[in-house]
Structure 1
């Protein structure tokens, strides 16, 4: 018979109490009119959360379609703690034998990632911080932090839209770049930033919002090709939280001034509009005093970076088993198995290392990206190593 009207929670409590008294799961599930999957879920929720676990939970969908139920994740963690010397493959085999046939047991790489997330995997210490995410830096010195954004598009006299790409130095307020662009496509941004790096050197970090081309909503850890290039150059990427433009407040205030003084009225064409931008940049840097700078001009404070732009060199992974090149489709090959990674990393070399029987750790530069086993074609990502996933 199905749950009685008295109370769903009370029925779940009766179910759990009788199970703890030694009655079999199968007979209880038949009596209460539920499947064994439901019975196991109820019992795992009770073991994980006590009586609170027997109350109804919100039915909000998981953000990721392949995210495991917390009950199954808790079971994996419990098994690992009971068997600390067992790897993911042995734990998966135990789950296959312990759970009903209609329960989908996760892949080995997923199990390994769960163990790693709960601190149950001994990993070789690296020289980088392992904390998920980094706070936005203060940027107290010139070139410690650059800020970039596209000011909102506007129409020129010839009916074409202009997308101004702007870059400023956080500490000195110096406006490094204000270029009239025809679109926000990443190739134009690559060209503009390369020219800027050659002229001014490299900053320590660049702060942006989460829009293209600075980030990619579908990329691994939201990485775009532009962000990957910055990382290869040794530039840290910072992203503000969605809906928090005040985290890039100095740059946004400059945009308001730019809009008033250089876009009203708009130029007749791109050539005229760029001339208006150039005049604004000169005045902003050399003739406009800033209260925050004790009424100095930005040009009085800013100095070029001491880190020259020399392009990118080759990547090597001396502590990994081998190096793999990411294809233009965003894949790598491990023993003739094609593993989906990210097109944002196309053309980049990644390091792969076997950390357990058939479990491979994939790294990019000094950042560990995630785990993969040869049964799967996708990477099981770790926590975002590049900062908050926003």
Structure 2
């Protein structure tokens, strides 16, 4: 029987005169339930014995229908607003009391305005941190995904103040090079002041600590060092360290980029972004700030704390490299204006413009000139070098000595900027500089190279072996049409056949015309050789047999016009006739040995 039928049977038993206690015990219910069934049957008949809802007729703390309708209306108008933002908006509109976040969430679920998902990792499991005041720390990064109508992608250089979440940098660039990032950073410091610290990831625009073969200082680090800004970098593959700027990138994609079609050009994209960022900073409440705006917590700074002078009213000037300080910055997508016609140097037809200027080598030994980064070594740090440059070639001098030569591609406008900034009309090209154009077939050039751990140097895209004993040393290579002579501290140590054509020799980085060949030592020539496993060695084309007992040893050979004298630690081992007259091109030993001078 159904439940309703059992209740009807119990009612009939009571009406037939059975005691209520026995009926209740027989049906396994309380006496009160039996009395209730009898009463309901008497008042409503058989239908009254059906199950009834236990839902109360009214709930005093239930959310009013008007409030629930307002919540749904706000959510439909702003699909990205969650319970916390909705609670803030209800409070602004004077709703009293404001429903809890759980209630608002249930309203959204009940009206199918949100899809319930898996619970995220609890916020208590994250280690959150925040600077105490504004301008203590900026987080910076580069974001992609800003598309133009023609299919090109722009990069967004971003910066956020850690304490206030105020956006200090939002600059669109065609290519996120180190110079473009530094321009945006310098413009922000001019506008808001110099922060105490900057936190970035390990992109090459921000740090050179992972540069091979050795760490170096990039332009961004140099600007921070000269302005007293502490540079902090995240651990590799740790994006949560810069979580504030990464979270802002998500907001940019979901609220700004999703609401705009691909932009017509960079100027239109930058203008739209500026309007959106201004609203983000000044009008949009931020959940992490208890629904305050970033602008309400942000204050500018006129100078860095670390460099405050005794006179608190005096502001320290912003220190920028000449290439960023003298040239107008590309702000809000506007390109750098070209110099006026009056500032362009006009030359005789066919003669290239040449400019000279002086530079101080930074502490890293890596300087920038004429759109090139030039490595001069830490030993040159703090010294002044002279740069000679025309449209195709750059030479660097120190104390009248040519240090390096590099190929460049500069326009008349570029040269005009260099001349107007701190340049002067250049002297004629140096005599030992490689001339522009194809090199003569018999010309001899000279370059300096660092020998890698495998005993090789790079020339014109090739690896040339110069021997493991020279690994880690900086050697001089004298290159002619047939041979490559390797000189260590001016001493000829090895000769290799040259695979380079005249055109390749003329385009070598740092090449200059070679001087006189290395002088031969006075008196009898002494060379060192390693004895092979078969007990032999070779000098000037002659094979000398000294015995397998000496294999692996480094022996000294005295070479005269008719004989070879082989010595082991000063003791004469043997004398051999010189049967072949060839030039001795290598003085030191090489091979699989622990080489000692």
TM-score range, shorter-chain basis? 0.3 to 0.5
Q: 1 or 2, which has the higher helix percentage? A: 1
Larger Rg: 2
TM-score by length of structure 2 reads 0.30
For CA contacts below 8 A with separation 6 or more, give which structure has more relative contact order: 1
TM-score by structure 1 length?
Answer: 0.46
Structure with a larger share of its residues in strand: 2
